[in-house]
């Protein structure tokens, strides 16, 4: 059964309303909608109901998306706002996004609406869960403060024998210990010392004696044995010795209070705080990892490009050729590390489609079996009718292989890897126990081993890049961080459960999809040579720009270069139509990618643009490609043939003199 989606649609054309809502329904939602056409109607709708999504035409006769966005922001509600328009310009769209709109979709490209809705709803849910976790932490702190102010307790006066014979006990004693005061006075039924857990009695006695010698107060926490037999009861005690004028100790007096609930609240608060800190830490590490990968990939693009150039000058075989191949292999291993960092930071370009998870799991296990000794067995348990998921096929394979190889290494040659796959509906109770999970329908992939388990101090760092317990040279420490990034990028989450001596279980949750699994098709191949095309290379890294120019010229292309956006635009304005393709790096100084692309479109609306980067968001690229703003994306580091294929496929078919 498809989840219900409550939608406000701002549109004056009934036919467009039907088309837009039908596209959302095709994305797997049961839509309940309310159409509005004025600011008053929108304000009334926001006040009268709860809504999951707002879809707005850019311009109505008496209302606009800009005004609607202002009303939504004034309401303080966090509702995804997507502009669906037929005539909005790119500059206007960029301005709307800067003002707070979450996305925009052209009416002639409504096929992009479903994925855009799914992405924005997922991000809104993540923001909601973060707010819930923050509110839970705030409530926990409030409860903590309240308990401090309202602690139950009792006052006492006692002698100093080890039994702590009570001379006086107030009536609060029974609320704390379960025993009425009369049971403790003069040890009529039992001595207070017998209520202190045996392993803490020496500590309490010594603390009191040291305080008496220093003539200071004593203060400490310890567990007690209560009358009901209920375990884990803790008290806090503060007291002092009362001395005569001759400095003789007369008795002890003090206050004892129950802090059991306080300690539980503190533990809860600490757990929530740790969860938020861990999330923030992983996000920060992801940003850092992505930035490192960007610089790394620029260097590797230059290295691999120069390898291609040198190879073309050498004979097919020989010692230098073999040494060059060794350099290339090392560079490609480095590129694999960079891809791992990008995956962890959720900045790796991907091609998500609706996947049959059973088939994807079986294919991955077939590959995994090739790396396992005969003494390790795989047990597979699959529920009937497991839902598809929207993900990148190669990344699902990578999840299973990385977790499977980790399980193999943990078991040191023998044991069982248990893999299970099922549909699961997560509840509010589950989300409370796992603050960054979400309520809904998910596909649950579990991979368990029979190894020695994972110590608690290791579990805290499991998903951090380059953290490994393996010996030097035995691994990069990127395996689990890559899995973490893949799962987050797909809109899911991963948990690890382990106890020493009982193996480890990794649970992966991916959002279920109502779409039918997509059929794989052959990749397109170029049919035209790149020779004779003029390419404008917009790249601020001199090494990358130089090697790209050399590779293109060797293939017969004409090349012009610009080191930043403003000079590239000046070149295009000076001779419109002279360039057949722009190869644009996405991290340029001075101007953003959106600004450069919008300016190129103003100069030449048909000029092909190919984006390239060593660090980018897959969603950003795919949305620009689907909107027709750019034609393709070429990730760094790229091989010479990949570069030429892109130029052959997308450059305009004309020849002319270079700029």
Report which of residues 548 and 615 the model is more confident about: 548
Q: What is the pTM of this model?
A: 0.45
Residue 526 has pLDDT above 70, yes or no: no
User: What are the residue boundaries of the structural domains of the chain, listed by start?
Assistant: 4-144, 153-258, 273-342, 353-511, 534-650
| Mean of the per-residue pLDDT values of the chain | 82
CATH architecture of 534-650: 3-Layer(aba) Sandwich (3.40)
Give the pLDDT band of residue 261 (cuts 50, 70, 90).
confident
Residue 203 has pLDDT above 70, yes or no: yes
Q: Beta strands 249-258 and 353-355: pairing type?
A: unpaired
> Is 353-511 CATH 3.60.150.10?
no
pLDDT at site 443: 95
Residue 473 has pLDDT above 50, yes or no: no
Beta bridge partners of 441: 425
Contact 615, 291 (CB under 8 A): yes
Average confidence (pLDDT) over 198-213: 92
Q: Beta strands 504-511 and 493-498: pairing type?
A: antiparallel
pLDDT at site 90: 64
Do 4-144 and 534-650 share a fold?
yes
Residue 453 has pLDDT above 70, yes or no: yes
Residue 458 has pLDDT above 70, yes or no: yes
Tell me what percent of the chain is helix, strand and coil, each rounded to the nearest 5.
Answer: 45, 20, 30
pLDDT at site 502: 86
Report the share of the chain in percent with pLDDT over 70: 82
Contact 65, 12 (CB under 8 A): no
Q: Quote the CA–CA distance of 550 and 544 in Å, as a whole number.
A: 10
Q: Quote the CA–CA distance of 191 and 179 in Å, as a whole number.
A: 11
Report which of residues 36 and 658 the model is more confident about: 36
pLDDT at site 374: 86
Report which of 352, 390, 279, 350 is spatially closest to residue 617, judged by C-alpha positions. Answer: 350
Report which of residues 446 and 636 the model is more confident about: 446
> Is 153-258 CATH 1.10.1380.10?
no
Q: Quote the CA–CA distance of 24 and 620 in Å, as a whole number.
A: 20
Q: Quote the CA–CA distance of 272 and 251 in Å, as a whole number.
A: 44
pLDDT at site 148: 46
For every residue of 352-377, DSSP letters joined together read -EEE-HHHHHHHHHHHHHTTS-TTEE
Average confidence (pLDDT) over 134-142: 76
* Structure tokens that stand for 599 in this block: 């300016």
Q: Quote the CA–CA distance of 584 and 238 in Å, as a whole number.
A: 70
Q: What angle do CA 606, 610, 613 make, to 5 degrees?
A: 155
Report which of residues 481 and 431 the model is more confident about: 431
pLDDT at site 586: 83
Average confidence (pLDDT) over 190-212: 92
pLDDT at site 142: 74
pLDDT at site 461: 65
Residue 468 has pLDDT above 60, yes or no: no
Beta bridge partners of 238: 219, 255
Q: Quote the CA–CA distance of 493 and 636 in Å, as a whole number.
A: 28
Look at the block and give the residue holding tokens 């919008």.
598
Residue 224 has pLDDT above 90, yes or no: yes
Best-predicted range by mean pLDDT among 262-276, 391-405, 498-512?
498-512
Give the pLDDT band of residue 350 (cuts 50, 70, 90).
low
Q: Quote the CA–CA distance of 109 and 116 in Å, as a whole number.
A: 12
Question: 570, exposed or middle or buried, with CB in 10 Å at 0-12, 13-18, 19+?
Answer: exposed
> Under CATH, which number does the domain 4-144 receive?
3.40.50.2300
Q: Which of 305-319, 464-478, 490-504, 606-620 shows the lowest mean pLDDT across its residues?
A: 464-478
Longest dimension (CA), the chain: 112
Question: What number of residues does the chain have?
Answer: 659
């Amino acid at each position: 059964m498809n989840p219900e989606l409550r939608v406000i649609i701002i549109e004056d054309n009934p036919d467009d309303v039907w088309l837009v809502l039908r596209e959302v329904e095709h994305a797997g939602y049961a839509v309940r909608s309310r159409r509005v056409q004025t600011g008053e109607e929108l304000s009334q709708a926001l006040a009268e109901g709860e809504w999951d999504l707002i879809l707005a035409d850019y311009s109505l006769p008496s209302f606009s998306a800009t005004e609607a966005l202002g009303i939504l922001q004034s309401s303080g509600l966090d509702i995804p706002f997507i502009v669906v328009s037929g005539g909005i310009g790119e500059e206007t769209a960029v301005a709307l996004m800067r003002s707070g709109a979450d996305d925009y979709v052209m009416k002639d490209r409504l096929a992009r609406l479903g994925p855009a809705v799914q992405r924005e709803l997922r991000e809104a849910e993540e923001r909601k869960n973060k707010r819930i976790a923050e509110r839970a932490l705030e409530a926990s702190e409030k409860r903590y403060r309240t308990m401090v102010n309202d602690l139950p307790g009792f006052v006492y006066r006692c002698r100093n024998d080890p039994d702590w014979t009570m001379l006086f006990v107030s009536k609060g004693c029974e609320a704390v210990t379960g025993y009425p005061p009369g049971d403790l006075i003069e040890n009529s039924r039992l001595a207070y010392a017998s209520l202190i857990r045996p392993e803490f009695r020496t500590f309490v006695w010594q603390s009191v004696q040291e305080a008496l010698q220093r003539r200071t107060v004593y203060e400490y926490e310890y567990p007690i044995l209560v009358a009901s037999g209920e375990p884990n009861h803790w008290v806090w005690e503060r007291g002092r010795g009362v001395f005569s004028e001759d400095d003789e100790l007369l008795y002890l007096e003090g206050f004892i209070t129950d802090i059991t609930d306080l300690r539980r609240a503190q533990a809860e608060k600490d757990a929530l705080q740790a969860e938020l800190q861990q999330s923030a830490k992983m996000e920060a590490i992801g940003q850092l990892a992505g930035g490192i990968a960007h610089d790394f990939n620029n260097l590797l693009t230059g290295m691999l490009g120069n390898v291609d150039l040198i190879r073309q000058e050498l004979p097919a075989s020989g010692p230098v050729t073999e040494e060059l191949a060794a350099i290339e292999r090392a560079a490609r291993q480095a590129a694999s590390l960079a891809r791992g960092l990008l995956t962890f930071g959720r900045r790796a370009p991907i091609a998500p489609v609706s996947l049959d998870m059973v088939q994807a799991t079986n294919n991955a296990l077939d590959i995994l079996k090739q790396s396992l000794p005969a003494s390790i067995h795989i047990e597979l348990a699959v529920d009937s009718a497991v839902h598809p998921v929207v993900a990148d096929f190669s990344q699902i394979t990578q999840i299973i292989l990385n977790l499977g190889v980790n399980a193999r290494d943990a078991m040191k040659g023998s044991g069982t890897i248990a893999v299970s796959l099922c549909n699961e509906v997560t509840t509010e109770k589950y989300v409370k126990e796992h603050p960054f999970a979400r309520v809904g329908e998910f596909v649950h992939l579990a991979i368990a081993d029979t190894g020695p388990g994972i110590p608690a101090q290791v579990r805290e760092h499991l998903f951090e890049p380059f953290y490994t317990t393996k010996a030097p040279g035995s691994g990069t420490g990127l395996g689990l961080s890559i899995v973490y990034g893949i799962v987050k990028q797909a809109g899911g989450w991963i948990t690890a459960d382990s106890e020493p001596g009982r193996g480890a279980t990794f649970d992966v949750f991916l959002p279920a999809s109502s779409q039918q699994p997509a059929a794989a098709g052959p990749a397109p191949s170029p049919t035209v040579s790149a020779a004779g095309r003029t390419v404008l290379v917009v790249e601020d890294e001199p090494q990358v720009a130089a090697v790209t120019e050399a590779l293109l010229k060797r293939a017969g292309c004409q090349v012009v270069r610009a080191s930043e956006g403003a000079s590239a635009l000046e070149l295009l304005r000076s001779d419109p139509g002279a360039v057949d393709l722009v190869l644009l790096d996405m991290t340029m100084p001075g101007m953003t990618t959106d600004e450069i692309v919008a300016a190129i479109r103003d100069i030449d609306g048909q000029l092909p643009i190919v984006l390239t980067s060593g660090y980018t968001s897959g969603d950003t690229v795919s949305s620009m490609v689907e909107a027709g703003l750019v034609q393709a994306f070429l990730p760094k580091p790229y091989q010479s043939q990949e570069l030429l294929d892109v130029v052959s496929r997308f450059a305009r078919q004309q020849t002319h003199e270079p700029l």
